[in-house]
Amino acid sequence: TVLSGSKIVFVHGQPIQVERELSPGKAVRLACPNVQIAVRFGRSLPSKPLSRRRASRVTVDRAKLEFPLTVRTIRAGDRFVPLGMHGRKKVGDYLTDRKVPKVYRDEILVVTDGQGIIWVVGFEIADRVKVDRSTRKVATLEVINSKRALTPAV
């Protein structure tokens, strides 16, 4: 058991380690955490690009992606440049800033491409893949469903 704020969290087993390739148009089901993640390609910009924070669906610039895409759990030392920032930040520090207790971090997923993290799932996209004026084609990354929330209520 672990005390997290005013909650007692029961933890068992080893940390979760997941890594699966994402194929456009096909959902990938992950057993733990229990979610489906999908990538869809669009030929044009959506009327309202979805790159906001704390979202289960985001839109990124497809031309800025280096395939293949992979979904995996976070690893020690993972870094990315959050949307709107210029410097790299450790994912662990990013989650600390968002007040995500360490006990929940084993279930946080990231989507990566050949250059690194493009989305901390449920939280933030990397600045390098944001939709901008030069964007012609997009990719939508989405958590289709989950039996439990990806991110704890904090």
Percent pLDDT > 70 in the chain is 76
* Cα radius of gyration (the chain): 15
- Give the total residue count for the chain: 154
**pLDDT tens digits, 8-64:** 545 556 667 889 999 998 889 987 777 899 999 876 665 555 555 678 899 999 999
Q: What is the pTM of this model?
A: 0.82
Nearest to 77 by CA among 116, 133, 47, 42: 116
Task: Name the least confident of 3-17, 78-92, 103-117.
Answer: 3-17
Nearest to 83 by CA among 143, 125, 21, 144: 125
91 phi and psi, to 5 degrees? -60, -40
